[in-house]
Structure 1
Amino acid sequence: MRNRLKDVAERAGVSVKTVSNVVNGYAHVRPETRARVEAVIAELNYRPNLTARSLRTGRTGVIALAVPELDIPYFAELVRHVVDAAAAHDWTVLIDQTGGSPDRERIVADGIRDQLIDGLIFSPLALTGAELARRADTRPMVLLGERDDHGPADHVAVDNVAAAREITAHLIASGRRRIAAIGAQRATSGASARMRLTGYKEALAAARIRFDPRRVAAAANWHRADGAAAVRKLLDSGVRPDALFCFNDTLALGAMRALHERGLRVPDDVAVVGFDDIEDGRFSTPTLTTVAPDKEEIARLAVELLAKRLAPGADGAPAELTAGHRLELRESA
């Protein structure tokens, strides 16, 4: 027979309201009381009745997370952190992949599974702030990723310009001067690329190194094959860099493969750095120096913002929050 909230309360010697507060993650519960209730929940294998809660509160306990590509390791790792952060609120996460398609992103923004979810965490590539402001769905939404415009929803990102400037400055401090940038994009979906290119240029300017557009290699997508192709094209054009700033780690892994094919050693001949700190970079040969966005903090802040918007009486202007980052200095630079 399924245990009820009342059974947990009686066993723990507390009120039903206290058990409900613990189950729903409310902060104002004494630590010793919380520990006692959690022990009884585990002992009785209590699981909330989500159907009853939905009828009572109008909430399903399900949120959606929409990202461009699940096979990009950064997004796969971010998804894991969002699922972990949502679990603290007893939320289930419905995951969707948009492919960066404008049509698919509009479907997501206008109400993915609108009878099932309470809110949306969304990393769009194609839609502008103006397009997102016109969404039909009124459920709370938190945006992830780099954006040129602010609003119309809460937004969490890292400071891409500062991070790119710092990783480029690291290359300069190690004695590199012919630093190429891999991953430039011209499409409207390239906010990350534009910000990282800006940081790269700022670091060069601060070191009085002339910016050379021939050392900027475009990549429509940021996969391993795109990094390898961009470096081959760069070398074939006669450019001889002594370092590569790749705009994400998968580009960097592809770039290192292309350098190996051309007989160039990393980091002896060409230093290589990336961005994202994916797990693969910790096991490549050589291991990859990179910018490490705090993915756990990004996920936690996004979930916290969504929880605030779902709270009764929630209001206020959209929040712009910046998560931390650090440089992970390894063998490649």
Structure 2
Amino acid sequence: MRDVALRAGVSVKTVSRVFNDDPHVLPETRDRVSDALAQLNYTPNMLARTFRDGRSPVIGVAVPSISDPFFASIVGGVEQVASRHDMSVVVTSLGGEGAHEEGRVESLLKRQLGALVMAPTADDQGYLARWAGKLPLVFVDRPPRGLDADCFVEDDEGGARAATAHLVGRGHRRIAFIGNSTSASTTASRLVGYRAALAEAGLPADEELVQLSSLTSGGALRAVQRLEALEAAPTALFSSDAETTMALVPALVGRRLAITAFGDFPMAAMLSPALTVVDQDPASLGRLAAERAVARLDGPLESPAQHVTLPVRLLERSSCRSPQDLVELFPWTVPDGGGRVVWESPRP
């Protein structure tokens, strides 16, 4: 900018005003600066831009997997907000297990971030305490452990309770739960909701019906086979997350089971029968988290943390039949529309 100012015969501040389209610059001055910008092929260093407190205009995003449609939508929501504020976004995947979280997050934080939006995978985020006074830390989908920070989550327990109660209402009394490890707070909360729905219906909580750690197609098939081998096999199942459900699809072909699932995903409405799901809004999670991060960039970091739970809703499709009316789940190809809302969490 000093080179541009020297060539145009103006101050560096005037160059900045022209570049930012300040309407108070005289036309002839603007022309001289614009010519100098073009002659020197000037491009701004966006990383050199800072907020009034000196923080970088870059938001880091750390999620378990950017290939997961749910977390990809969270990233998209962050990007929408960042774009409005002329900020950049840097994304990293943490992996499904918590072992790599600390190293990957610390590596990301060393890249001169202005803020971090994160869906944690480890059991403890206390290692981030030393960063809390330096930049905004905002958590999505899962609250942090060992650290008090802004977080935006969804009604995991309420959604799972509604999805399980929906199966109970269809006449099912043996309902299985399939999900990943309860080390993920989302799975743990959904398991609580599942058990609560059974208790409310006066049904026993049979731990043989709970199958965990089945995220692969092979693991899903083995879980279904274990359930089928029970003396009293289930007639229905609740899948605790979209990744588990997608792994379950091949295992369920030709089997007579009613299904509800937490989390919609591409093609869920196109399967035959189409899946009844607890519908989430991950893009809103991303937008709200990013907006909170931007607000903290321009304000005090010391203000109290916000803990917000967003509502979810149960979309009824055709995968929930009564035990007397079950059909084979094959061939998973016939369209069935978008579903209708039959339950929704109370607004906060």
TM-score by length of 2: 0.74
Answer whether contact 1:53 1:60 (CA < 8 A) is retained.
Answer: yes
Corresponding residue for 2:106?
110
In structure 2, relative to structure 1, the CA distance for the partners of 1:61 and 1:147 (3 Å cut) is closer
In structure 2, relative to structure 1, the CA distance for the partners of 1:56 and 1:226 (3 Å cut) is same
Structure 1 range deviating more: 168-177 or 222-231 = 222-231
Distance 1:225 1:83 in 2: 35
AA in 2 matched with 1:291: V
Equivalent of residue 63 in structure 1, options 59, 66, 70: 59
In structure 2, relative to structure 1, the CA distance for the partners of 1:252 and 1:12 (3 Å cut) is farther
Corresponding residue for 1:44?
none
In structure 2, relative to structure 1, the CA distance for the partners of 1:253 and 1:112 (3 Å cut) is closer
Answer whether contact 1:66 1:98 (CA < 8 A) is retained.
Answer: yes
CA RMSD of aligned residues (A): 3.0
| SS in structure 2 of the partner of residue 180 of structure 1 | strand
In structure 2, relative to structure 1, the CA distance for the partners of 1:88 and 1:191 (3 Å cut) is same
Corresponding residue for 1:234?
227
Corresponding residue for 2:250?
257
Answer whether contact 2:53 2:298 (CA < 8 A) is retained.
Answer: no
Corresponding residue for 1:80?
76
Corresponding residue for 1:248?
241
Corresponding residue for 1:316?
303
**Is 1:196 the counterpart of 2:180 in the alignment?**
no
In structure 2, relative to structure 1, the CA distance for the partners of 1:12 and 1:218 (3 Å cut) is farther
Distance 1:125 1:51 in 2: 29
CA deviations on 1:60-114 (whole Å, 9 max, x unpaired) are 3211100112232221222222222322222211010111454531124435252
Distance 1:56 1:153 in 2: 22
In structure 2, relative to structure 1, the CA distance for the partners of 1:164 and 1:148 (3 Å cut) is farther
In structure 2, relative to structure 1, the CA distance for the partners of 1:227 and 1:5 (3 Å cut) is farther
TM-score by length of 1: 0.77
Answer whether contact 2:53 2:297 (CA < 8 A) is retained.
Answer: no
Equivalent of residue 175 in structure 1, options 171, 175, 193: 171
| SS in structure 2 of the partner of residue 71 of structure 1 | coil
Structure 1 range deviating more: 288-297 or 233-242 = 233-242
Corresponding residue for 2:203?
209
Answer whether contact 1:228 1:258 (CA < 8 A) is retained.
Answer: yes
Alignment length (residue pairs): 290
Distance 2:220 2:78 in 1: 28
In structure 2, relative to structure 1, the CA distance for the partners of 1:314 and 1:254 (3 Å cut) is closer
Distance 2:179 2:72 in 1: 20
Deviation, structure 1 residue 135:
5.3
Distance 1:137 1:317 in 2: 13
In structure 2, relative to structure 1, the CA distance for the partners of 1:141 and 1:216 (3 Å cut) is same
Equivalent of residue 296 in structure 1, options 268, 279, 283: 283
Answer whether contact 1:67 1:96 (CA < 8 A) is retained.
Answer: yes
AA in 2 matched with 1:246: S
Distance 2:221 2:192 in 1: 23
Equivalent of residue 271 in structure 1, options 258, 261, 268: 258
Unaligned runs of 5+ in 2: 5-14, 27-42, 321-348
CA deviations on 1:237-274 (whole Å, 9 max, x unpaired) are 445211110011232233342232xx32xxxx311111
In structure 2, relative to structure 1, the CA distance for the partners of 1:172 and 1:6 (3 Å cut) is same
Distance 2:316 2:133 in 1: 43
Query: What percent identity do the matched residue pairs reach?
Result: 31
Distance 2:195 2:95 in 1: 29
Equivalent of residue 89 in structure 1, options 85, 92, 95: 85
In structure 2, relative to structure 1, the CA distance for the partners of 1:203 and 1:10 (3 Å cut) is same
Corresponding residue for 1:37?
none
CA deviations on 1:130-172 (whole Å, 9 max, x unpaired) are 3443558832211122348574211110121111111111111
* Structure whose CA Rg is larger: 2
